[in-house]
Structure 1
Amino acid sequence: MITQTEQQLAQALVRGEYPEASVPLLAGAVHLLADELAHAGNPVPHKDIREAMDVLRKHRQFEHVHEIGNAWHDTRGCDPIIQRLLAQAMVELGALERADELLDEMDQMRTACPNDLEFKAQETDFFALRGRIRKQRFVLTNDMNQLVASIDCYEKQWQIAPSFFLGGNVLALRVRLHEQIPQPIHDLIDLAHDVLNLATTTVRSKPSDPWALATASEANLALHRLQPAAGWNESAELWLYRFLFHPKCGPFETESYSRQLREVWGGSPLEESTCEGRLARIFERHVLHTQRRWSADVHHLRRLQQNPEELEKNFSGEKAFTVDDIRTMLTLIPNIGCVTNKEGVRLGTGFLIQGSFFGVEGLLFITNAHVISDTVPKAIFCADARVTFEVEADSGMPPCRVQEVLFSSEPGQLGNVTQAPGMLDVTICRLDRTPIGAQGLCVADKIPLPSPKVKAFVVGHPRAGEMQFSLQDSVLLDVCAHDRLMHYRTPTDPGSSGSPVFNKYWEVIAVHHAGSQTCPRLSGEGLYEANEGITLHSIFSGWRGVPYKH
């Protein structure tokens, strides 16, 4: 297996390639690109930055798209493609106001340079992003004015240059509006047929494009909603299966349609009596078995808590975990938070535990030092850090803020067993408040012994998304001789940094901080695919200043 350097990985990214790499190595490569851009005099071709940002976007590495795009923007101004990719990353990371500001800048540049063909070529995407921002505001606030504003953005461009993508969004949003303010139903049916025809034509003419398959499924869903007796639901499911098994349907594509289904159509895997519910259930099963994870938004979680019989209905057939596992996980949710910067960009996870574990009072919040720190490069400054909890997602409560840092330890190198005990990659702090119902996660009394039968589960907010639980293929691989590093094979993504790692009793055993498909083994020579956490017991020893165990 060839070991890459950060420089080699950075060179691959600017070629539009995405080699397998550890989380720290990828972050280092991105830092190299951003640092190169930090000096305005450095001759960095915009084509290279476009390629790097686009390949990172395709793999949902939005925090890295954000870092590179910001570095370009701050030193070189507004490039139409780089600015679009940066604005899209800001939307995905939840910073809607900043995304709107970036689009305003592009509008000003477009007006100042009316003959610039690159700006003209991006017009459709500009309008679509405007629509996406307003759609997301509607999802967050249920403000019908935002829904109408989103429709206007998509529809304006749809009338100029019709495409299945624009038409699919216009259709979904107009059907959603129809549920609140009745629209002429025949107009909606005609629109659905137009979108379906465009999508199926594209499927035939461009079979390499998976998006047309998703739009065909969505158009059939709309027709079923408008003509429930006509049998469109089966076609919606068929097109969805074709989409999911398309060779170019990756995590970005899957999440995009799944999110539209949940947020605009109201699809819930718990509602299999509806077409959108069955589609959501297909998505849930597909992700569970192909990506080995299960995600749920706040409404899904609350419904499961209020209707425990639905746990049996939806999860009783699983072999990798039990219904009791899901039931227990639901009780943990008030204690697990998403870490953002002051602009609302979601960059990591953290969790609450009882301070009594460390010999102090109250609840303490734990995350990685590479997520929150005043000294670790690229981390969020403590004063700028914000923490949101899923249980408060629609409560109107402001984010929690860091009140006091009690302990911090800088990150170490992935898989380096012999590093000093100070390399714990952890920040322990008090928040200015904690959610109602948060009592702190339980800490395990001892570190489990590695075995193929011993499980390690991770719960967090990966890729800046909703709460996600790793459930399948979650095996504890090894613990280093110093009881500091723990390796486990469990599905994690960027944004999982700072997540709690649980044993089979749902007690915290470690803080997740990195992972790689080429991770150095803790015992013996060689590399393997693994995620790495820092054990809570080593963090406790660091807190107390206990000498390193040699």
Structure 2
Amino acid sequence: METLYYEVYAAGITPKSVDFYAWLLILAILGANVIISHLHKEEALRFIHELAVGNPPPANDTAIVALGLRDSRDFGLLIDLAKSARNHRSDSPILQTYHAQAAIELGDYQGALGILSTVELMPGLNSTISSEIYGLRGRALKEIFLHLPDKTSEIGHAYLSGSIAEYRKAFRLGRDWAAVNILALSRLGQHNFGQLDQNFQSEVEGRELLTKLDQAPHSTRDLWYHATRAELRIGFDDISGALDEIAAYLSDPSVTSFAVAGTLRQYTEVWNLPAVSDEGAGIVEALQARLLQMNYGQLRLNHAVDAAAGKAEALGTRNLEALLGPEGVKSIQWMRRGTEVARSVCAIRQIGGGKIGTAFVVAGGDFIPSLGAERVVLTNSHVVSGTQPGSLHPDECEVVFEEIGELSNTPIPIKELVWSSPIERLDAAIIRLVLPIVASPLSLAPRLPLADGLQKVYLIGYPRGDNLSISIDGNVLLDHEGPATGTPPEPTIRRRLHYSAPTEKGSSGSPVFNASKWEVIGLHHAGGQIPRLNGKSGLTSANEGLWIQAVAEEAKLTSNI
């Protein structure tokens, strides 16, 4: 895929040689989603530079790039672009609504509310943008409510009522999707407070909307037609009817992982489907598996995963295939294996502070033969070592497994640093904990996948220090220095691999898995604009890991144990 990217550029087809929209169309025809992601990033960086030197790009182009960044879940760069446009007075209301959406995705709900208040004061508003403002404000208030420790408090009532009021404004502007939020939040209100006075008609409105959608001409039925009907069916306890609508929604070629993630969040956080029935839990597990089939998906391994585990079969083979394709059952089994290996991934946390990186359990003997079957933890030396720039000393850190039963979220101090390799070599550290490690050691892949641009890789870690997540963000293995075609600058150590999965602070030390068996192929350690591998000229926007077998070989050669 990376080769195709550079060949397209080499042919002289670039965003500067053709109309920007034509360029996107060319890549869409090629089916090059990862290339499009590269383009959005490069264009965003170029736009930020042009804004800084007083040469602002067309506002419409900036908004298109921002939308692409949103759909590829590159929220940090989207925020940088929106801030740059605002600071250099080249702003637009639609760009700032994307800015607010990115802030919500990153958990900055109050910040999003501030952005939306500013957008309301901007010229050029229309009913479409106004409805987006209301919907996003409703979501921000909803998220604040959902994260309250006491949802039955007066402040909880205020946030929930405020959220419903904002969604009602959007509904009055003809936005049908707002009605399902009103219905869902009204149910939450009934559960936490009894009846919310202003929402006594929510179910009536929902049924009126369902009747309206039944009568809609086929030519007007878009992606959200089926998504809205599905959620209305759930609201009326019609799980069977919802299944058909969800299948139609997922089969729409325009559906994105961003949309599916939102649907999954609504089904778990608001409707709490896993608690409704086995079929409801099965829908959630199937959607989790569907998310892992898609580019730019990210599955947070939280209570919803545990609550839905093992329930997909309640839907039956026909429904699973409708939701996930002919390999539906295999997709579920594959996802379950991914969530199983995630139990061996842990967070590195500064004592008294937050998460600073990721680590994972390995068999010590795979790296240092004298350790035998002892279970140890592997991470980056730039995270924990005390000898590398920016690293913390082992006695300043603790390890937390969030997925291990009785030990879940229990801080475990580090006993000692067993072995490390410097950043400029393999950026790896093996550490021993003060308690025996319960989690199983991960399996190491004996070889790297082909570097043909078609192989997928998966990361499990703690992006932004958030929940443990499986990352599917444009997960293509771009290149590597391994056998048989790699040409590393230092022939004795074939160490680096490049992949397109965007990662964020907190991902350092994450295991990189192959797609077939969930075996570890690499140790993630860096990313950004980095030199291409194997003597190729130029830079690439990629992430970099260290081949796990190169780390193992280095440990065997240099350890003093």
Give unmatched runs, 5+ long, in structure 1. 225-231, 411-421, 524-529
Identify which range, 167-176 or 183-192, moves more after superposition. 183-192
Q: Is the 8 A contact 1:158 1:167 kept in 2?
A: yes
1:446-497 per-residue CA deviation (whole Å, 9 max, x = no partner) reads: 8347699xx9973415998863388xx99999842556357799x9665688
Are positions 1:244 and 2:250 aligned together?
Answer: yes
**Aligned residue number for residue 227 of structure 1:** none
Please give the residue correspondences for 1:500-519 in structure 2 after superposition, counting only pairs within 5 Å.
500-502=511-513, 508-512=520-524
**Aligned residue number for residue 70 of structure 2:** 57
**Aligned residue number for residue 117 of structure 1:** 124
* 2:141 aligned to which of 120, 129, 134: 134
What is the CA distance between 1:220 and its match in structure 2?
Answer: 1.4
Counterpart of 1:51, as a letter, is I
Please give the residue correspondences for 1:106-505 in structure 2 after superposition, counting only pairs within 5 Å.
106-108=116-118, 110=120, 113=121, 116-118=123-125, 122-141=129-148, 143-144=150-151, 145-146=155-156, 148-156=158-166, 158-159=168-169, 160-183=172-195, 187-200=201-214, 204=218, 206-207=220-221, 209-224=222-237, 232-268=238-274, 273-274=278-279, 276-284=280-288, 286-287=290-291, 295=299, 297-303=301-307, 326=336, 330=340, 332-333=342-343, 335-337=345-347, 351=360, 366=379, 390-391=402-403, 409=423, 422=425, 426=427, 441-442=441-442, 444=444, 447-448=446-447, 458-460=458-460, 467-468=469-470, 479-481=482-484, 484=494, 499-502=510-513
Give unmatched runs, 5+ long, in structure 2. 321-326, 485-490, 536-541
Q: Is the 8 A contact 1:53 1:65 kept in 2?
A: yes
Counterpart of 1:192, as a letter, is G
Counterpart of 1:103, as a letter, is L
Q: C-alpha separation between the residues in 2 aligned to 1:168 and 1:74?
A: 37
* 1:29 aligned to which of 31, 42, 45: 42
What is the CA distance between 1:51 and its match in structure 2?
Answer: 1.4
**Aligned residue number for residue 42 of structure 1:** 55
Identify which range, 292-301 or 239-248, moves more after superposition. 292-301
What is the CA distance between 1:513 and its match in structure 2?
Answer: 7.0
Counterpart of 1:84, as a letter, is T
1:52–1:168 CA distance, 2 compared to 1 (3 A)? same
Identify which range, 193-202 or 257-266, moves more after superposition. 193-202
Q: C-alpha separation between the residues in 2 aligned to 1:149 and 1:140?
A: 11
Counterpart of 2:257, as a letter, is P
1:270-304 per-residue CA deviation (whole Å, 9 max, x = no partner) reads: 97535x33432442454466679994632145458
1:494–1:327 CA distance, 2 compared to 1 (3 A)? closer
Secondary structure of the structure 2 residue equivalent to 1:511: strand
Secondary structure of the structure 2 residue equivalent to 1:163: coil
TM-score for the superposition, normalised by structure 2: 0.64
1:200-259 per-residue CA deviation (whole Å, 9 max, x = no partner) reads: 45664622x2112211111111112xxxxxxx3332222222211123222222222122
Are positions 1:15 and 2:26 aligned together?
Answer: no
Q: Is the 8 A contact 1:83 1:102 kept in 2?
A: no
1:106-138 per-residue CA deviation (whole Å, 9 max, x = no partner) reads: 42464xx5x823377532222222221222233
TM-score for the superposition, normalised by structure 1: 0.65
1:179–1:304 CA distance, 2 compared to 1 (3 A)? closer
Identical counterparts, % of pairs: 19
Q: Is the 8 A contact 2:511 2:522 kept in 1?
A: yes
Q: Is the 8 A contact 1:211 1:243 kept in 2?
A: yes
What is the CA distance between 1:88 and its match in structure 2?
Answer: 0.8
Q: Is the 8 A contact 2:116 2:137 kept in 1?
A: no
1:318–1:220 CA distance, 2 compared to 1 (3 A)? closer
Give the total of aligned pairs.
493
Secondary structure of the structure 1 residue equivalent to 2:522: strand
Q: Is the 8 A contact 1:172 1:264 kept in 2?
A: yes
What is the CA distance between 1:381 and its match in structure 2?
Answer: 11
Q: C-alpha separation between the residues in 1 aligned to 2:233 and 2:435?
A: 41
Q: C-alpha separation between the residues in 2 aligned to 1:164 and 1:35?
A: 36
1:127-173 per-residue CA deviation (whole Å, 9 max, x = no partner) reads: 22222122223333354244652442342452442421221211111
What is the CA distance between 1:391 and its match in structure 2?
Answer: 4.2
1:289–1:71 CA distance, 2 compared to 1 (3 A)? closer
1:366–1:74 CA distance, 2 compared to 1 (3 A)? farther
Q: C-alpha separation between the residues in 2 aligned to 1:434 and 1:31?
A: 46
Q: C-alpha separation between the residues in 2 aligned to 1:539 and 1:39?
A: 42
Q: C-alpha separation between the residues in 1 aligned to 2:104 and 2:72?
A: 16
Secondary structure of the structure 2 residue equivalent to 1:116: coil
**RCO higher in 1 or 2 (8 Å CA, sep ≥ 6)?**
1
Counterpart of 2:243, as a letter, is E
Q: C-alpha separation between the residues in 2 aligned to 1:469 and 1:258?
A: 16
Q: C-alpha separation between the residues in 2 aligned to 1:319 and 1:261?
A: 21
Q: Is the 8 A contact 2:138 2:166 kept in 1?
A: no
Identify which range, 12-21 or 59-68, moves more after superposition. 12-21
Secondary structure of the structure 1 residue equivalent to 2:278: coil
Q: Is the 8 A contact 2:381 2:420 kept in 1?
A: no
What is the CA distance between 1:190 and its match in structure 2?
Answer: 0.6
Q: C-alpha separation between the residues in 1 aligned to 2:243 and 2:201?
A: 24
Counterpart of 1:191, as a letter, is E
